[in-house]
């Protein structure tokens, strides 16, 4: 699981049939200040997130396919929750 910020929405006139009913969101993983930044990536949205939302992204294809109930869906990343706040205690 990755905590990320939704930074954009991808609009596509043609997409894989398994993606119908899901928004494609562009997400940027959040890192601690001493960590190097990770690359932005696409995720299917199962939580109705919007731009600016902090989200929980599952980056494991088999689990995403189980949520979609499509065994052969070409998916790796899926937004599974919207986070209200994140508190890092250390």
Instruction: Using CB atoms within 10 Å of the CB of residue 54, give its burial: 0 to 12 exposed, 13 to 18 middle, 19+ buried.
Output: middle
What are φ and ψ of residue 55, in 5° steps? -130, 160
Per-residue pLDDT in tens (0 to 9) along the chain, 90 residues: 999 999 999 998 888 998 888 999 999 999 887 888 889 999 999 999 999 999 999 998 888 888 888 888 889 999 999 999 988 775
Identify which of 23, 33, 40, 34 has the alpha carbon closest to the alpha carbon of residue 82: 23
CA distance 22 to 46: 7
Q: Give the predicted TM-score (pTM) of the model.
A: 0.87
User: Domains plus CATH for the chain?
Assistant: 2-82 (2.40.50.220)
Residue 52 DSSP one-character state: T
């Amino acid at each position: 699981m990755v905590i990320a910020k939704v930074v954009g929405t991808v609009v596509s006139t043609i997409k894989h049939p398994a993606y119908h009913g899901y928004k494609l969101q562009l997400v940027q993983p959040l890192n601690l200040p001493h960590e190097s930044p990770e690359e932005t990536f696409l995720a299917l949205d199962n939580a109705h997130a919007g731009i600016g939302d902090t989200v929980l992204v599952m980056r494991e294809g088999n689990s995403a396919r189980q949520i979609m109930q499509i065994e052969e869906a070409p998916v790796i990343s899926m937004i599974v929750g919207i986070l209200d706040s994140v508190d890092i205690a250390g």
